[in-house]
Amino acid sequence: MGNPMKIRAAVKDGVTEVKILMQHNMETGLRKEADGKLVPAWYITDVTAQHQGRTVLEAQLGISISKNPYLVFGFKGGAAGEKITVSWVDNTGDKRSDVAEITA
């Protein structure tokens, strides 16, 4: 399991804005070490965010995303005190899921 994500979610005028910082090395599998060996591919493939059992974001990532991806999105609905759950899966099968509370 990877390092915890930093998630901030705030609702304003009926729209909840979510900011996520995922801590992940995101290796492409194309970079070589000093000895010429390829660094194995290791990157997030899928990201999902859920609010009240409803999926509000589904994203597919790949090798072109930089280390420690930062993602911002918004959705209609949400209220202060409710929870949002963000999960990711990488190409090695590693998974991470974190929960944040929506603020006003």
Of the pLDDT bands very low, low, confident and very high (cuts 50, 70, 90), residue 60 is: very high
Asked if residue 73 is part of any domain, the answer here is: yes
Does 50 reside within a domain?
A: yes
pLDDT tens digits, 13-37: 999 999 999 999 999 999 999 999 9
* Domain that includes residue 54, residue range: 6-103
Q: How many domains does the chain have?
A: 1
DSSP for residue 41: P
Q: Which residue has the tokens 């995922």?
A: 22
Residue 1 counted as domain residue: no
pLDDT in tens, 82-98: 999 999 999 999 999 99
Is-contact 57 73, C-beta < 8 A? Answer: yes
Structure tokens at 96: 């991470």
Is residue 11, in this structure, part of any structural domain at all?
A: yes
- Which CATH number does the domain housing residue 89 bear? 2.60.40.10
Is the whole model's pTM more than 0.75, yes or no? yes
The pLDDT score that the predictor gives to residue 2 is 75
